[in-house]
Amino acid sequence: MNKKGFTIIELLIVIAIIGILVGVAVPYYNDYIYDARLSTLKQNLATYRQVLNQFRGDNLRGPIKVQVAGAISLPANSWAASANSELTAGPIQIVDGALTRRTNLKYLPQMPVFLNPKDGSPVPSSSWSVSGEMAYFYDVNGDTIFDIDSELAFVDNDGNASYTSGIDTALFLGANVGAGGAGTALDYTSFSVTIDGIDY
């Protein structure tokens, strides 16, 4: 009775071939995963920037990026938190002469999660940065908090960061309407994420 099977040499050759194939395939697979994550990150950022443009078109300004105190309040860094961001909880506006938050007007269901393309971990909000201000406010008491009941906020139509009657658009008319000088940035219209020293 003849029994046929693989010799140890044949098995070792098969194992060596499998090892070589795995060694060649793994780097390509890792590159594929990185490229897919990078593509997703760029698409999520493009979507977020599109939402910012829509918000700016509807409200003549970007979302508020500073702490707000008064009849309507926002905590510090509220722009990065789903519960308080104007994009997820509705913009602050004056409707029928009253200061209100338009909770029925939500631009995002929640703040997006941006993933690091290298390892897939969420990028912390400390790596997010905002810029491109269109609106300013006069920080009369110098606390870097927008006192919505008493400080003037305006859209800077002439680009000088100072309120010019007849040119700039007043957003929230506080008691200090006549304040002059340079204003403090109130909103943002540009957004980027920094990962390993690279801005996306």
pLDDT tens digits, one per residue of 33-91: 899 999 999 999 999 999 999 999 999 899 999 999 988 889 988 888 888 899 999 99
Work out the average pLDDT over 95-105.
83
pLDDT over 90, % of the chain: 41
How far is 172 from 179, CA to CA, in rounded Å? 13
Q: What is the pTM of this model?
A: 0.80
Selection from 198, 195, 153 nearest residue 175 by Cα: 153
H or E element at residue 57: helix 8-59
What is the predicted pLDDT for the residue at 6?
73
H or E element at residue 131: strand 128-131
Work out the average pLDDT over 3-18.
80
Residue 177, phi then psi, degrees to nearest 5: -65, -30
Mean of per-residue pLDDT scores for the chain: 87
How far is 137 from 123, CA to CA, in rounded Å? 30
Question: Locate tokens 């593509």: which residue?
Answer: 39
Question: Locate tokens 């810029």: which residue?
Answer: 131
Question: Locate tokens 């800077």: which residue?
Answer: 156
Provide CB contacts within 8 A for 86, sequence distance 6+.
55, 63, 64, 78, 79, 92, 107
pLDDT over 70, % of the chain: 94
